[in-house]
Amino acid sequence: MPTSLLGALAPVRGRAVSARHRAARTGRAGRAHIAALDGLRGFAVAAVLLFHAGHLSGGFLGVDLFFVLSGFLITGLLLSDAASGGRIALGAFWVRRARRLLPALVCVVVVTMVLTWAFGSVAQLRFALDDTPWVAAQAVNWHYITEQIGYWNASDTRVFAHLWSIAVEWQFYLAWPLVVAVAGRGRHAQRVVAAVAGAGALAAGALMVSLGAAIDTTRAYEGTDTRAVALLLGALAATAPVRGLAARVPRRAADVLCLVLAVGLAVAWAVTDGEKAPMLFKGGLFLHSLAAAVLIVLIAQVPDTRAARIAGSRLPRRLGELSYSLYLWHWPVYLLLLPRLSALGDWGATAVAIAVSLAAAAATKWLVEDPVRFRSGWARGHRGLIAMVALALVGVALWAAIPVPVPGAGTVDIDQLG
C-alpha cells in the first residue's frame, strides 16, 4: 500500500519551524512538502473505497496511482541521500520505512483478527488465520498467487485480501534501494538510475502482457515483478533528467496537460470494467501508470497549476493524509459490516462503512502512526518500538490460540444475516 509524503522535490523556503513540525512536513533531505501529492493519494484511496463498495468499476486503478507516487517519492529521497552524502544509508532507510508502515499494519491486523473471530463467518476466520503468517512476512501476494486464489472472485472471504499491495510495496522497498545504491554512484548517477528504471518498467510491462493472457489474471495483477511497472515509472519520474524536462514545460502548457491527464485518469477509473477490460493487461495498466507519472512530475516541478490547486485543496489533502490507515481498515470493515447494513441500501450502507473506516483510520493515525513515526507523545524514545513489538506478540499468541474453525463450529456466518 501506498507511503507517507515525507518530502518532495523543491527547495525549502520560509521561516524556521520547530524540529517536530519540520520532521512532519519535510523529508530527511530537506525537501518541501507538496500538498497536491497528498491530494492525489486522497483521490486514489477514494477510488479504491468506491470500487470495493461496488460503485466505481475501475476504482482499483487507484492502487496504481499509489504505486507511482511511492516509486516517485522513495526514489527522490534515495537520490537526494546519495547526492548529499555520497552514499545511501540503507539501514536507516529501512528503519524509517518500518517505522512508517508497520505500526498501523500491526494494529489493524491484530484488531481485525479479533473482530473476525467475534463477528466474521467461518470462512472469513479460517482464511484470516491462513493468511496472517503471509501478511506478517509481507508476502501475501505470492501466497495468493501460489495457491491460485483469484483476486477477482475470492477476496470477499478474505479480510486481508487488500494487503497484497502493501506486500508489493514492501518488497520494492527492500530491493530498489539496493539497485539505487549501486547505480546511483558517479557523475552520471541520475542518468544511470533513470535508464535502469525505464528499462525495468518496460520489462515488467512486457511480462504483464505475457502473463495477462491467462484465464486467471491474479499472477499478472499481484506479482511484484509485473506491478513494478508503476513503481519504476514513478522512480523514473523522480530522476534529474525527467524532472529537468518537466521543469522546462511552460506553466500554461503544464496547466493544460495536467488537467488533461487528471481527467484521463478519472475517465479510466469510471469506464474500466475490472479484469474484463480488454486492454487492461495488454498495455492499459502501463499507460495508466505512465499518465500518472507524468502528472506527478509536472505537479512537482511546475508550480501552481490548476490541477495542483485542486488536488492540494483541503478535502483531498486531508483524505490523502489518512490514506494509508484508511486503506488498511476499509476492507475488513466492508466485509464485516456491510452485510449487516443491507436495510440502508447500497449507498446508505457504503456511507456508514466509509464513515466507520474514516474514524478507525483517524484514530490509528493520531494514536499509533504519528506517535511512533515521530517518537512523540506516548511513543517517545523506544516506547513506540516496545509497544509495537508487544502488540505483534499478542497477535502471534492470538493466531496460535484461535482454533481453525470448521463450517458450523459456532462462528457467526454473516452470509445468513439480513
Local confidence pLDDT in tens for the 418 residues of the chain: 444 333 333 333 333 333 333 333 333 333 567 899 999 999 999 999 999 999 999 999 999 999 999 999 999 999 988 887 678 889 999 999 999 999 999 999 999 999 999 999 999 999 999 999 999 999 999 999 998 887 776 667 899 999 999 999 999 999 999 999 998 887 888 999 999 999 999 999 999 999 998 888 889 999 999 999 999 999 999 999 999 999 999 999 999 999 999 999 999 999 998 877 889 999 999 999 999 999 999 999 998 899 999 999 999 999 999 999 999 999 999 999 999 999 999 999 999 999 999 999 999 999 999 999 998 999 998 899 899 999 999 999 999 999 988 765 544 444 443 4
Q: How far apart are CA 213 and CA 99, in angstroms?
A: 39
Q: From the centroid of its chain, how far is CA 330? A: 13
Largest CA distance in the chain: 66
Residue-range domain boundaries for the chain: 19-403
For residue 210, count other CB atoms closer than 10 A to its CB.
Answer: 12
Q: How far apart are CA 341 and CA 414, in angstroms?
A: 11
Distances (CA, A) of 143 to 8, 132, 149, 164, 231: 34, 11, 8, 9, 21
